[in-house]
Structure 1
Amino acid sequence: MIRHLHPTDAVLLFPFRQAAGRAQAFTLPRTLEPEAPLFPALRYAGIALSLRAWQACWVLAERGRIDALIHAGRRAGRGTWEVRDLFVRPDSTDRCVDLLEEMCVQAGRDGARRLFMRVASGSDVLHEARRAGFVAYLAETAYRSEAARPEGGAAVVLPRVRARAKSDDAGLLRLHCAWVPATRRAYGPANASEWRDTEERAARIQEEWVLEDEAGRVAAWLRTAETKSGRFISITADPDAGPAVGELVLVGLDGAEGRPAVALAASADATLASALESAGFAAARSFDVLVRPVAAPVGATRRAVAPVG
């Protein structure tokens, strides 16, 4: 039975914690952690007892026990939903398909056009997600470094680098699409407005910069933020950006003062991978971003009188 998380489920969450193991779905901040977290029973007990937060959580429950729990909702805008958490008992993995299909229904009722989910590469949930209609959208690699930039290193200054503006959205969408397989681009955002709905943030406060080429086009996008896991950097660059990518990595690490750093990149971007490795990063984890198109529910038909003649 699939239903919302209820206040009476609070006592069932603690035995579920022992059986569920680690997280099966990852938001952007979760990809930056060294390993997938265990089920946070206390957190979800608080959600179950809250007045409204439980409305974003669903459980698959049978015979007085919870077999799976999912937390999903809007990402940056109404048009895009994402799976934020997914925990499953190992003996119930094959039933995830029902839970994921229900999330598509809920997303459609909210007006979403697509539902994203990020899973670890090779996850047991991957097969069930495909059964539920999800398709592979983008492969990503998380990189880590305990001290990517020595303390006191010289700052790097690049010409034609400026703060991101709202008018850059179309250019950023173009950069993003460069790393999405051509056969999968139709599943992603089609314009700047949809792009804004799909954007992820590593932290509430983050700095964003764009690098322009000689023609004034956006050639690369740099994001940095301070997280619990260290300095976060993300670079999405034109495939022809060349050496500027390596310089952007150093710009992103400026001020990190030898602290740990984490980065997330498209797995296909060999130039960025090389630049990160040169700066002291090593590949740590890999992820598959999945997407499912969502259909809006058909409204009830209304009777109308049509004039004749």
Structure 2
Amino acid sequence: MMQTVRISDAVRCFLLNVPKGPNLVCPRESSLSGQQPNNKVLLKETLASRRGRISLVSWKGLQLSGLASAHALNGHRAWEIDRLFGPTGLKSWDRACTEFLERLVQEAGERFGERVILRLPSDSSTVHQARLAGFFPYFGELLLVGQVAEAAQNGSEPSQTMGPRLPQDDYSLFQLYCAGTPQQVRSGLGSTFDQWRDSQSPSRQGLRELVSRDKERITGWLGLRTVDGWQEGQVMYHPDFPDVLPALLAKGLAAPGPHKWLIPDYQEMAQELLLRRGLGETVRYVVLVKTVAAPVKMPGMAAVEA
């Protein structure tokens, strides 16, 4: 029977050292780092983050038969499923998996969530179960990994100025997101400023951000973080300023050590430039989203003019 994780469930998980096995989903942070938090971290987050965390569990006798969890990203409108554990390969789990996903979406809606994001390996069997639960694939992502090769010197310099991201840059970055992201992707991740802001990763610790500017407009953004000796990179650029992307990537790839870059499949130019610099594709992800209609808590009537 599926239920919200309680203190007694957390104690049982701790004593039995469960969940075990691979996490079937790939949240953005672990998609780059490849590291999953251990069970102690999972249970601590579950019990401590009551408002921003939804965790569900099911037991079959004394054995854990499934666990799923989601967390609010940068606000209540957007949630990400970051844990899903179960006995894959069993027909009973296929149905239970769909039920877990449907229940997480329902719980997010009751917390006024508007969309639930799910990232999976593109060849995962869980993609089918997610589709049955109402999730729709909006775009793909590629993880490019490797040592950086020397770049050919072409002598070109970008006409825009570059500098650190400023606190007042949020709306300009939203405008950059709208310019560089296909409409279908925006419909999944968010079309308004509030929706976009809520779908951003809440963790900015150690993130070094650089933006390029053309007068008052931001034309490119670079995010770089060092984790266990690896450089983890992300980039966003305006299609009307083609010289910005090579300059941003040159800045990012100059950081010492091996690199990991998570690139959306619609950023073909970024993929090509990174492949030229010696990085190789290791895995493809599919990002699925289900939009949620928040329930009306207190239905009522309002007067209207005839």
- Give the TM-score category using the shorter length: 0.7 to 0.9
What is the 5 A alignment of 1:1-309?
1-9=1-9, 10-11=11-12, 14=16, 17-18=19-20, 21-34=21-34, 37=36, 40-44=38-42, 56-90=54-88, 91=90, 92-145=93-146, 147-148=147-148, 159-177=160-178, 180-200=181-201, 203-213=204-214, 216-228=216-228, 230-254=230-254, 256-257=255-256, 259-301=257-299
**2: distance between equivalents of 1:197 and 1:162?**
25
Cα deviation for residue 273 of structure 1 reads 0.9
* Aligned amino acid, residue 242 of structure 2: G
1:153 equivalent in structure 2: none
The alignment covers a number of residue pairs equal to 291
TM-score by length of 1: 0.81
Please provide the CA RMSD for this pair: 3.0
For the 8 Å contact 1:206–1:224, the answer to whether it is kept is yes
* Aligned amino acid, residue 135 of structure 1: F
Identity across the alignment (%): 23
**2: distance between equivalents of 1:149 and 1:110?**
47
1:22-56 CA distances to partner (integer Å, 9 max, x unpaired)? 1121222211135x75x8444445567x5666963
Mean Cα displacement is larger for which, 187-196 or 286-295?
187-196
Are the structure 2 counterparts of residues 184 and 253 from structure 1 closer, same or farther at C-alpha, using a change threshold of 3 Å? closer
**2: distance between equivalents of 1:15 and 1:93?**
24
Are the structure 2 counterparts of residues 279 and 57 from structure 1 closer, same or farther at C-alpha, using a change threshold of 3 Å? same
For the 8 Å contact 1:100–1:129, the answer to whether it is kept is yes
Cα deviation for residue 173 of structure 1 reads 3.0
**2: distance between equivalents of 1:244 and 1:47?**
39
Unaligned runs of 5+ in 1: 151-155
* Aligned amino acid, residue 293 of structure 2: A
Unaligned runs of 5+ in 2: 151-155
1:157-189 CA distances to partner (integer Å, 9 max, x unpaired)? 854112223544344334434565434532331
Q: Which runs of 4+ in 1 moved over 6 A?
A: none
Are the structure 2 counterparts of residues 132 and 181 from structure 1 closer, same or farther at C-alpha, using a change threshold of 3 Å? farther
Cα deviation for residue 117 of structure 1 reads 1.1
**2: distance between equivalents of 1:275 and 1:31?**
21
For the 8 Å contact 1:135–1:292, the answer to whether it is kept is yes
Are the structure 2 counterparts of residues 189 and 252 from structure 1 closer, same or farther at C-alpha, using a change threshold of 3 Å? same
For the 8 Å contact 1:138–1:180, the answer to whether it is kept is no
For the 8 Å contact 1:176–1:236, the answer to whether it is kept is yes
* Aligned amino acid, residue 77 of structure 2: G
